[in-house]
Structure 1
Amino acid sequence: MVQISKPVQGILWMLVTTLNFVMVNVLVKYVGSGLPVLESAFLRFLLGLVFLIPALKSVAKVQFTPRLWKLTFGRAMCHALAMTCWFFAMTKIPMGEVTAMNFMNPIYVSIGAVVLFGERIALPRILALVVAFLGGLVILRPGFREIDPGHVAMIVSAIAFAGSYLIASQLTRELPASVVVFLMSVTVPLVIAPFALLQWETPTLHELILLFFTAAFATFGHYSMTRAFACAPQSVVQPVVFIQLIWSVSLGMLLFGEAFDPFVLLGGVMIISAVSFITWREARAKRSARAAAVVEKP
Structure 2
Amino acid sequence: MTTLAAPYRPLAGMFWMFTAGLSFVVMTALVKSLGPSMDPIQAAFLRFVFGLVFLLPALRLVLTTHLTRRHLVLFGTRGIVHALAVMLWFFSMTQIPLAEVTAMNYMTPVYVTLGAALFLGEKLAFRRIAAICVALIGVLIILRPGFREISPGHLTMLGTALALGGSYLIAKTLVRDLPPSVVVAHMSIWVTIALIPFAIAVWTRPSLHDLGVLFLVASFATAGHYFMTIALKAAPVAVTQPVTFLQLIWATLLGALVFHERVDIWVVAGGSLILSAVSFIAWREAVLNRSSLTTPSIAPKL
TM-score tier by shorter-chain length is over 0.9
Q: Is 1:201–2:195 an aligned residue pair?
A: no
Alpha-carbon distance between aligned partners in 1 of 2:291 and 2:108, rounded to the nearest angstrom: 26
Deviations 1:109-146 (A, max 9, x none): 00111111221111111100000000011000011100
Question: 1:32, 1:87 within 8 Å by CA — same for their partners in 2?
Answer: no
- Residues in 1 aligned to 2:69 and 2:209: alpha-carbon distance in whole angstroms: 41
Pairwise CA distance, 1:32 = 4.0
- What is the aligned partner in structure 1 of residue 110 from structure 2? 107
Question: How far off is 1:284 after superposition?
Answer: 1.7
Q: Does 1:143 align with 2:146?
A: yes
Q: 217, 222, 229: which is aligned to 2:220?
A: 217
Alignment of 1:52-201 (within 5 A): 52-201=55-204
Instruction: Provide the C-alpha distance between the structure 2 equivalents of 1:61 and 1:284, rounded to a whole number of angstroms.
Output: 39
**TM score, norm. by length of structure 1:** 0.94
Residue 267 of structure 1 pairs with residue 270 of structure 2? yes
Q: 2:20 aligns with which of 17, 20, 40?
A: 17
d(CA) in 1 for partners of 2:49 and 2:164?
Answer: 19
- Asked whether the 8 Å contact 1:80–1:192 carries over to 2, the reply is yes
Looking at structure 1, the residues matched to 45 and 84 of structure 2 have their Cα atoms a distance apart, in angstroms, of 11
Equivalent position SS for 1:75: helix
Instruction: Classify the secondary structure of the residue corresponding to 1:279.
Output: helix
Runs of 5+ consecutive residues of structure 2 not aligned to the other structure: 1-6, 293-302
Is 1:233 matched with 2:254? no
User: Residue 49 of structure 1 aligns with which residue?
Assistant: 52
Partner Cα separation in structure 1 for residue 291 and residue 234 of structure 2: 20
- Select the structure of larger CA radius of gyration: 1
For 2:150, the aligned partner's letter is I
Partner deviation per Cα, 1:228-282 (whole Å, 9 max, x = no partner) = 0000010000000000000000000111110010001100110010000000111
Q: Under a length normalisation based on structure 2, what TM-score does the superposition of the two structures give?
A: 0.93
Residue 180 of structure 2 aligns to which amino acid in structure 1? A
Matched position secondary structure for 1:120 = coil
Cα distance in 1 for residues equivalent to 2:78 and 2:63? 20
Give, in whole Å, the separation in 1 of the partners of 2:193 and 2:290.
41
**Equivalent residue for 1:36?**
39
Deviations 1:134-193 (A, max 9, x none): 001100001110000000000000000000000000111111111111101111011011
Matching residue of 1:296: none
More helix by share: 1
Q: What SS is found at the alignment partner of 2:289?
A: helix
Hey, what's the Cα distance between the residues in 2 that align with 1:56 and 1:284? 38
Q: Where does residue 292 of structure 1 map in the other structure?
A: none
Q: Distance in 2 between matches of 1:159 and 1:98?
A: 14
Q: Is the 8 A contact 1:14 1:237 kept in 2?
A: yes
Change (3 A) 1:176 1:149: same
Q: 1:5 to 1:119 in 2, by over 3 A?
A: closer
CA gap of 1:204–1:237, structure 2 versus 1, over 3 A, is same
Counterpart-to-counterpart distance in 1, 2:71 and 2:158: 28
Q: Tell me the distance in 1 between the aligned counterparts of 2:62 and 2:195.
A: 22
**Superposed CA RMSD:** 1.4
For 2:13 and 2:252, how far apart are their aligned partners in 1?
Answer: 24
CA distance in 1, matches of 2:40, 2:153: 12
Could you list the runs of 5+ residues in structure 1 that have no partner in the other structure?
A: 290-298
**Is the contact between residue 31 and residue 207 of structure 1 (CA under 8 Å) also seen in structure 2?**
yes
2:290 and 2:114 map into 1 onto residues whose CA distance is: 23
Contact 2:285 2:291 in 1 (8 A): no
The share of aligned pairs that are identical, in percent, is 51
